[in-house]
Amino acid sequence: MKKGDSKEKKPIHLLQSHYYDGLIEAGCDEAGRGCLAGSVYAAAVILPQNYSHPYLNDSKQLTEKRRMILRKDIEKDAIAWAVGVVSPEEIDEINILNASILAMHRALDGLKVRPAFILVDGNRFKPYGATPFATIVKGDAKYLSIAAASILAKTFRDDEMRRLHEQYPWYGWEHNAGYPTREHRRGIEQHGLTPYHRRSFHLLPDRGPQLPFPED
């Protein structure tokens, strides 16, 4: 085993399997909220009532290899799962908070089973029809369904950014996923913006938002 893989030897502590007994619950989480480029992704996952998995945890605590293994397990084991996407253009139009919530709503729209309750990572959400919900700060480290959603959102978004990297190789998206790294900002300085950059964001420290949109 490689030196950096030692943390993968031991199972991670088990998270809670449900918020209420006997209800069909969907966990929701997003990925990419703080990025300078790319869509924001969200996932909704319904797991069996007493589901357990020794390695399922917040996606940020896992290696990329472990996330991909878990993604396959989640897709196989979940009662239902779906991913929602909101584009950079929509983010610029409605702001990133509203876009993150919209991505969660779109993920919930895609579920083949209707949940009776929704668990949301964080502290902000808007009602999804009449379905009751709870916002859970750091919920992806507390509830299995939210952790599963965080893994799906993260891995599906990373897939998109790797595809975009092939078209725009100057920003390091294959490993920074669009986050504001030095490499990414250096790419912006040297090569300008792409159609996938969020122009309402402060893309460079000394510049404000890049709206209105140029004719490109």
Secondary structure class of 4 (helix, strand, coil): helix
Give the span between the Cα atoms of 132 and 116, in whole angstroms: 7
Domain ranges for the chain? 3-164
Q: What distance separates the 2 farthest-apart alpha carbons in the chain?
A: 56
- 3-state helix, strand, coil split of the chain in percent (to 5) is 40, 15, 45
Contact (CB, 8 A) for 54 and 14: yes
Q: How many CA atoms are closer than 13 Å to the CA of 54, on its beta-carbon side?
A: 4
Per-residue pLDDT of 121-138, as tens digits, reads 999 999 999 999 999 999
Burial class (CB in 10 A: 0-12, 13-18, 19+), 171: buried
pLDDT at 213: 41
Give the span between the Cα atoms of 75 and 67, in whole angstroms: 12
pLDDT at 7: 47
Per-residue pLDDT of 27-62, as tens digits, reads 999 999 999 999 999 999 999 988 999 888 878 888
Secondary structure class of 182 (helix, strand, coil): helix
Q: Indicate the fold that domain 3-164 takes in CATH.
A: Nucleotidyltransferase; domain 5 (3.30.420)
Which helix H or strand E contains 174, and what residues bound it? helix 173-176
Per-residue pLDDT of 151-209, as tens digits, reads 999 999 999 999 999 999 999 999 999 999 999 999 999 999 999 999 999 999 876 66
Q: Is the pLDDT of residue 144 over 90?
A: yes
Task: Count the Cβ atoms, other than its own, within 10 Å of residue 167.
Answer: 10
pTM above 0.75, yes or no: yes
Sign of torsion, CA 15 21 24 30? negative
pLDDT class of 210 with cuts at 50, 70, 90: low
